[in-house]
Structure 1
Amino acid sequence: MSTSHSAPQNTRLGIWLMIATTVVFAAQDGISRHLAENYSVMMVVMIRFWFFALFVVALAARAPGGIAAASRSSYPLVQMARGLILVAEICVMVVAFVQLGLIEAHAVFTCYPLLVAALSGPVLGEKVGWRRWTAILVGFAGVLIILQPGISVFSPWALVPLLAAFMFALYGLLTRYVARKDSAAVSFFWTGAVGAVAMTPFGLWTWEWMALADWGWMATLCCTAVLGHWLLIRAFAVAEASAIQPFAYLQLVFAAGIGLTVFGETLRTNVAIGAGIVVAAGVFTLWRQRLREKAATRQA
């Protein structure tokens, strides 16, 4: 993401903003798990996206050109696909939180940067060297350690966060694709609008009234969703993505803390080892990407 001259680079601030983002997103995941244990996942996600859509529409209305400018995309079909993939990924991941818990769901989901690297060739036409391919394979060995196929009783639910990681990686790659011509504001608008429209029929079909306390949690979930995205946008506005992206892995640490203390989950040894391998492989691929970007900048 390019940075304007009015927003000078500040890597230290970018790192702290990314850390704050991971704290907010981890809290959001904990609230999502609580609500989805008692209510329909589709209804919870629908209400969250209603609030998100209102937020992006309000932002667009205040911006130069208004809603017409925010909705004007060079890739409307791809933007629509992005929104549909993201909202489906959120539903899938919330199901994983309920069935597996925050720790194991996030441990598997952390492989998504490796999937981004693996898919960047076929989707974006980027070159992936042998070092990054090696890191990708090592990372997926870590995923197998987490899943333990053939060693213990394998749960098909363990594949759910892997599906979510694949969908989120595809969403990220399509976001990079549309960024060639569409601004971040346009992508943000399409994300909220498409998600809200797509979830409304499913959410209304499964509608049920929440307890008063859970409406409070729902309101908090909506606010954390908006705050998390705002912090993330600010982080990428003040620092290079390759410098701050590794700190996104801290979401696994914070989510695990919530899982252990709030939901009484346990951290199995194989999950800790496998997650460590996945994170190390992911950080390596991000580091290689940063070297490639610096080399390309020098050649330019």
Structure 2
Amino acid sequence: MPVPSATPEGSSSPAAYKTRFSEKWQSLSNNTRGICWALLATFLMAVMSTIIKLLGDHLHVTQILMLRQFFMLAISAPVVIKGFPGSLKTQAPLLHLGRILLAAAAMYLGFTAVIHLPLAESTVIGFARTFFITIFAVIFLKEVIGVHRISATLLGFIGVMVIVQPGTGAEMSIYSAMAIFASACAALVGIILRKVTQLDRPITILTFQATFVGLIMAPFGIYNWAPISVNDAILLLCLAGVSWGAQMCNIQALRFGEASAIAPFDYIRLVYAAIISIVIFGVWPLWTTYLGGAIIVAASLYTLHRETVLGKKVATGTAPSKTH
């Protein structure tokens, strides 16, 4: 006799779970989906900073950047080749040019700061990107920022200030200044991405940046070349993979969500950085880090809840206009 099925069709199969997840995902608002992508991107960015800091003990920042970009290009190559020439077709060449130049500056300045500053400090200073991107979103994207987003961003900044404890008399170093300038450049890259993601495919966006930033760094990386150990080679490969994943997640976040809506979630990276500092470097944060981290998480979760509620109101036609 034939053996009957143990369960109803699709009730617990991988395909059924995938279908239910897809339906749930599609029911979310665009900003909520953008926030989910942003959370994953910030985790991968924290891991990326850790790898860069480890590599910076042996290799020059331009060598790290050059190899990182070319490895990322190698990861993208199969998809690029499969979709060629459409995978490299762009409708915004000038936007890509500006993005590549700003990304090169942001990476050089930011990577240098990560290598020379404590991980938590470079992460905190990097949060200036949130305020730059909020301002730039209003100026360039004409986004309307309501009281809820402003409140969430300010609450997150208060959490950062609890951790930084300004007024302790510490002077700003050249590396701190580099981190701030990197944040401004990264914010402009994010604004351009918001435009470009509406026109070009994610693989096209990532390939252009990986290729041309790598070419910009190549002369400097070759000049500062140092021998690469087996451990460094493994870390470089991991850096390329993590960086590729982080950029793809970031592209998706900006594709779905408004720039100013996902900006507060950059604060979550500090929580990741604190955990990594304990596990990798054996550095335990002060109690103020835990307090500030709790405030940051609360601000981010509030924004996520707000966007979810707003998405449901939009679906039912009861959302107020431009008040979020």
Q: TM-score range by the shorter chain?
A: 0.7 to 0.9
String of CA shifts for 1:56-89, please: whole Å, max 9, x gaps: 34321111xx0x3233222111112222322332
- Is 2:38 aligned against 1:38? no
**Is the 1:87–1:195 contact (alpha carbons within 8 Å) kept by the matching residues of 2?**
yes
**Aligned position for 2:238:** 220
Give the CA deviation at 1:213: 2.4
**Is the 1:118–1:128 contact (alpha carbons within 8 Å) kept by the matching residues of 2?**
no
Give the CA deviation at 1:285: 5.4
- Is 2:170 aligned against 1:150? no
Give the CA deviation at 1:219: 2.2
Match of 1:120 among 137, 141, 147: 137
**Is the 1:118–1:133 contact (alpha carbons within 8 Å) kept by the matching residues of 2?**
no
**Aligned position for 2:12:** none
SS in 1 for 2:281: coil
**Aligned position for 1:201:** 219
* Structure 1 segments unaligned to the other structure (5+ residues): none
**Cα separation, 1, equivalents of 2:73 and 2:179:** 25
**Is the 1:132–1:288 contact (alpha carbons within 8 Å) kept by the matching residues of 2?**
no
* Residues 60-99 of structure 1 aligned to structure 2 (within 5 Å): 60-63=80-83, 66=84, 68-99=85-116
TM-score, L = length of structure 1: 0.77
SS in 1 for 2:285: coil
Match of 1:51 among 59, 71, 79: 71
**Aligned position for 2:273:** 255
**Aligned position for 1:174:** 192
SS in 1 for 2:200: coil
String of CA shifts for 1:126-178, please: whole Å, max 9, x gaps: 12234433444444444444444432323324444333333222211110112
Give the CA deviation at 1:32: 1.0
Match of 1:133 among 124, 141, 150: 150
CA 207–234 in structure 1, closer or farther in 2 if over 3 Å, else same: closer
Give the CA deviation at 1:125: 1.4
CA 291–181 in structure 1, closer or farther in 2 if over 3 Å, else same: farther
Percent sequence identity is 23
The amino acid across from 2:184 in the alignment is: F
More deviation in 180-189 or 167-176? 180-189
Structure with bigger gyration radius? 2
Match of 2:123 among 106, 111, 115: 106
* Structure 2 segments unaligned to the other structure (5+ residues): 1-18, 27-32
**Cα separation, 1, equivalents of 2:43 and 2:147:** 34
**Cα separation, 2, equivalents of 1:250 and 1:136:** 12
**Is the 2:110–2:179 contact (alpha carbons within 8 Å) kept by the matching residues of 1?**
yes
Give the CA deviation at 1:51: 0.9
SS in 1 for 2:101: helix
Matched positions, count: 289
Give the CA deviation at 1:261: 2.8
What is the CA RMSD across the aligned residues, in angstroms? 3.9
**Is the 1:111–1:140 contact (alpha carbons within 8 Å) kept by the matching residues of 2?**
no
Give the CA deviation at 1:97: 2.1
String of CA shifts for 1:162-195, please: whole Å, max 9, x gaps: 3333322221111011223223232122222222
SS in 2 for 1:116: helix
Give the CA deviation at 1:268: 3.2
**Is the 2:155–2:295 contact (alpha carbons within 8 Å) kept by the matching residues of 1?**
yes
SS in 2 for 1:117: helix
**Is the 2:95–2:192 contact (alpha carbons within 8 Å) kept by the matching residues of 1?**
yes
**Cα separation, 2, equivalents of 1:289 and 1:170:** 24
